[in-house]
Amino acid sequence: MWTKEVINMIIQGIGETLYMTLVSTLIGYLFGIPMGVLLAVSDKEGLRPNPVLYKVLDVIANITRSIPFLILLILIQPFTVFVVGKSYGSSATIVPLVVAAIPFIGRMVESSLKEVDKGVIEAARSMGASDLRIIVRVLLVEARTSLITGATIAIGTILGYSAMAGCIGGGGLGDIAIRYGYYRYQADIMVVTVVLLVLLVQVFQTVGMAIANRLDKRK
């Protein structure tokens, strides 16, 4: 049963999973960082409190995060087709992954930025720093360790979501697990894919924490 085809298929599955996870995380951060910054800055304790903006972003984040990913996948299929041209395959899976990742990452960035010591922000203000400079040179720098820890968690979550996309032919290891383990009762292949998924999460977690520790100058 461990034919060349099966092995090749699994290797391809790893590639697709990594592709979906990393590209989605990257695009997710591209939008998630600005969203998190806006949430942190517009909050009532933030640099420039703006209750309306905060509430709007808050509601968007809550709505998106309360839809189960499996439902979101199907719900936004027309949008996925509009963007990618088809509704199956790993490129198509990136669209719902990004949609789910942005509010999740936004929340994570928001909470990281809110951890930054208010005194340091006040000191920067007293030196005549503009709000933009405080965001770029104080908030994002001081929150560095927490942001990286957050990114590690985000990658793990997105990797998990990408496996769910296997249900609708999303490609990657999750797809293989469902096709072989669920539809064809080949539990051995399913076990292998699950072990590989666990290993991938472990690798990301270990590397992420190592980088975060390396960059933390507080100790």
Which residues here bind another protein, judged by CB under 8 A? 117, 119-120, 122-130, 133, 137-138, 141-142, 144-145, 215-219
Q: Which of 26, 28, 174, 204 is nearest to 100 (CA)?
A: 28
CB of 196 to another protein, least distance (A): 36
Closer residue to another protein (CB): 40 or 100: 40
Q: Which of 44, 40, 24 is nearest to 100 (CA)?
A: 24
Kind and range of the H or E element at 118?
helix 118-126
CB of 133 to another protein, least distance (A): 7
Q: Which of 92, 89, 62 is nearest to 79 (CA)?
A: 92
CB of 98 to another protein, least distance (A): 29
Neighbours of 206 (CB within 10 A): 11
CA dihedral 77, 193, 28, 86 (to 10 degrees): -30
Closer residue to another protein (CB): 102 or 138: 138
DSSP code per residue over 23-92: HHHHHHHHHHHHHHHHHHHHSTTSSS--HHHHHHHHHHHHHHHHS-HHHHHHHTHHHHHHHHS-SSSHHH
CB of 120 to another protein, least distance (A): 5
Closer residue to another protein (CB): 18 or 120: 120
Closer residue to another protein (CB): 78 or 128: 128
CB of 106 to another protein, least distance (A): 22
Question: Tokens 């640099």 label which residue?
Answer: 47
Closer residue to another protein (CB): 4 or 219: 219
